[in-house]
Amino acid sequence: MTHGAPLASELANAARIVARIAQGKSLAEEFGRSGGLGAAGARAALIDLTHGTLRRYGRVQALVRELSQRGTANGLVEALLWCALYALESKRYGDHTVVDQAVKACAALEQWAAKGYVNALLRRFLRERAALELQLAADDVARYQHPQWWIDLLRVAYPDAWQGILDAGNGHPPMCLRVNARRAAVDEYSAQLAAESLVAHRVGPMALLLERPMPIERLPGFDAGMVSVQDLGAQRAAGALDLRPGQRVLDACAAPGGKSAHILEHANVRLTAVDIDEARASRIGVNLERLGLHAEIRVGDAAEPRAWWDGEPYDRILADVPCSASGVVRRHPDVKWLRRARDVAGYAARARAILAALWPLLAPGGKLLYATCSVFPQENAELVEAFLAGVPGARRIAPADGVPGQWLPDAEHDGFFYALIEKQL
Same fold, 7-145 and 232-423: no
The pLDDT of residue 41 is 63
The pLDDT of residue 32 is 75
CA distances from 202 to 161, 186, 188, 359, 407 (A): 26, 8, 12, 36, 18
Q: Chunked in runs of 10, what are the mean pLDDT values of the chain (425 residues)?
A: 70 96 92 62 86 96 88 86 97 95 97 95 96 93 96 98 97 97 96 96 97 94 97 97 97 97 98 97 97 98 97 98 98 96 98 98 98 98 98 94 92 97 95
Half-sphere exposure of 422 (CA within 13 A, CB side): 11
Under a CB-based contact definition with an 8 Å cutoff, are residues 415 and 326 in contact? yes
pTM here?
A: 0.93
Distance separating alpha carbons of residues 36 and 14, to the nearest angstrom: 14
Work out whether strand 200-204 and strand 207-210 pair parallel, antiparallel, or are unpaired: antiparallel
Residue among 339, 194, 177 nearest 258 (CA):
177
Greatest Cα-to-Cα distance within the chain, rounded to the nearest angstrom? 74
Backbone angles phi, psi at 415, to 5 degrees: -90, 125
Distance separating alpha carbons of residues 365 and 369, to the nearest angstrom: 13
In the chain, where are the structural domains located?
A: 7-145, 176-229, 232-423
* Radius of gyration of the chain, Cα coordinates, nearest whole angstrom: 23
Name the CATH superfamily, with its identifier, for domain 232-423.
Answer: Vaccinia Virus protein VP39 (3.40.50.150)
CA distances from 259 to 72, 292, 361 (A): 45, 15, 20
CA distances from 211 to 45, 330, 353, 412 (A): 20, 17, 40, 10
Distance separating alpha carbons of residues 372 and 417, to the nearest angstrom: 5
Q: How many angstroms from the chain centroid is the CA of residue 192?
A: 28
Residue of 106, 176, 253, 373 marked active site: 373
The CATH classification of domain 7-145, taken from the options 3.30.460.80, 1.10.940.10, 3.30.70.260, 2.60.40.10? 1.10.940.10
The pLDDT of residue 362 is 98
373 is catalytic: yes
The CATH classification of domain 176-229, taken from the options 3.40.50.300, 3.50.30.20, 3.30.70.1170, 3.40.605.10? 3.30.70.1170
Which residues have CB under 8 Å from 90's CB, separation 6+? Answer: 48, 52
Residue among 106, 100, 89 nearest 48 (CA):
89
